[in-house]
Amino acid sequence: MRKLFKFWMTISLFMRFYLSSYKLGSKTEKLKELMPKGNAIGLIPNALDYTKADPVRREEGIKEDIGSLMSLGFVVETVDLKDYFGKTDQLRKKLDLLGGVFIRGGNAFVLRQAMRLSGFDVIFKELLLKDDFLYAGFSAGICVLAADLTPLKIVDDATDTPYRGQDKVIWEGLGYLDYIILPHYDSEHPESADIDKTVKFCIRNSIPFRTLRDGDVIVI
């Protein structure tokens, strides 16, 4: 009986994940079921901080994501990781007030840089132990969960380092998944052709991967 109880504790203390190829995906009813206590979620937009990003389209994309989440009943607050560079404790306190995060797409390497400079990658390991916290997102927001981001250099500019204090490429992801998710596969998306090339790269280099078509969602 003691062993069974220990096993139950192991599987129950675990962050929830809603991983979409593009936008909210096709399982929004499931997303609402996973909605954290208090319905408060932080939208992290830093994958859009890449150098050539159009500022107008950036803001439009953020507003669209906020509206989509609010339509499901979420209380949404933008959490710009740039505001927490070198302030990991402050970011930890902010995330403690929220029930989850929604990390949107863009450049996965730029997003990873923002996660390191803010300490989000450290806090992420702590949040894994919370069964009432939701990690949701799409595209770059889910790619960074892999251990190795190397295959994504075909899709995203890995050399783009827009932040002061970070001038080297970070190839390591958050390391939660033992495979890399490749979104926009076989989809009507501008990056779909490059994702095909990325699939071939992974096969040639024996890198575990999982493809998602736009609309597809992984729920953990």
Q: For the whole model, what pTM was predicted? A: 0.92
Give the Cα separation of 182 and 180 in Å (integer): 6
- pLDDT tens digits, 107-164: 999 999 999 999 999 999 999 998 889 999 999 999 999 999 999 999 999 999 999 9
* pLDDT tens track for 159-193: 999 999 899 999 999 999 999 999 999 999 999 99
Domain boundaries, given as residue ranges, for the chain: 15-219
41-50: average pLDDT: 98
Sheet harboring 75-78: ordered strands across?
75-78, 40-44, 100-103, 134-138, 16-20, 217-219
CA distance 105 to 25: 13
194: pLDDT strictly greater than 90: yes
Tell me: pLDDT of 7 over 80.
no
Per-residue pLDDT for 2 more than 90?
no
Which CATH fold topology does 15-219 show? Rossmann fold (3.40.50)
